[in-house]
Amino acid sequence: MERVKELAFAYRLRWKRRRLLFRAFRKRRQLTPVIDRTAQINRNDILAASTMRNEMLRLPHFLDHHRKLGINHFLIVDNGSEDGTRDYLAGQPDVSLWSTDHSYRLSRFGVDWLTWLQLRHAHGHWCLTLDADEIFIYPHHDTRPLPALVDYLERNDRKSFGALMLDMYPKGPLSAQDCPSGGDPFRSLCWFDGGNYTITRKPDLHNLWIQGGARARCFFAEAPRRAPTMSKMPLVKWHRRYVYVSSTHSLLPRVLNHVYDDQGGEITSGILLHSKFLPTALARSAEEKERREHFANSALYDGYYDQLTSDPDLWCERSTKLISWRQLEAMGLMSKGNWL
């Protein structure tokens, strides 16, 4: 009987995956090409995909960091930027850019748009799917670029790579911090919560559900189940039949969500340094509350936005200052497993 139930559920997941792929196919009409350089993509290139809106403060560092890691080409959707993001991206020789003014929320928070672009341009490539406020790191990222990491993953028959999103924040009120446009945001956002994480395994998609960090501590202490999910699968050897289910928190087929060792060992994993808490977070939180584009049930998060606009100090005596990736590995926030 259990075997029959499992087969029936797997069948429903296959149909869900097909529905999501068809949804992305329909949403393709919402994208207008600004500059299409995808003809430059070579067979072994590693790609990055992102949806952005008004990200000029972060954008130069975002592109520079991931280029140094080994990203060869960026597939980017601009969702109605008004701060020069679109023009800046259009001028980058390794960026292909599309624009849309349609709803971010109704496109599954940009996933539908990116799924279409990945279906068209990322099949057979390793693809890193990120938000503009996420910086990807992994063990030895400072000396071993992405081609070395994906070569290791392929030799170990792995098609996806997990990462913990780590909320980074300053010491003191957000408005008091200095972050020059285009600079490294982690010069001021250099603190994080190191030990308040909970982990559960989702029985349906088999992905890990990790919650914690500064947002859980400061904004969701009374309702911890509403705290943001911190576990992601940002790096995938893409296939045209793959699809993200919920942001980059889970994938179909669900075997791609097995980025952990269920026997108690360790598998190589990374970190997404999250730069949400720049001084601009105050104004952006007020805007996001008004637009209601960032959560499926935005009214539940009004208190969260209100606290952010009040210029909080997220630092506490238990905060840890970021030193290096080796520190994050020693704390168990990421793992090098048997790599190197």
pLDDT tens digits, one per residue of 311-338: 889 999 999 999 999 999 999 999 999 9
How does pLDDT run across 233-252, given as a tens digit for each residue? 999 999 999 999 988 999 99
Which one, of 62, 36, 63, lies nearest residue 120 by Cα? 36
Residues of the chain with pLDDT under 50: none
Q: What is the pLDDT of residue 159?
A: 98
Tokens of 326: 């080796």
CA 323 to the chain's CA centroid: 22
Question: What residues pair up with 168 in beta bridges, in sequence order?
Answer: none
Q: What is the pLDDT of residue 298?
A: 53
Instruction: Say if residues 134 and 59 touch (Cβ distance below 8 Å).
Output: no
Q: What is the pLDDT of residue 294?
A: 57
Residues across the chain: 340
CA 5 to the chain's CA centroid: 33
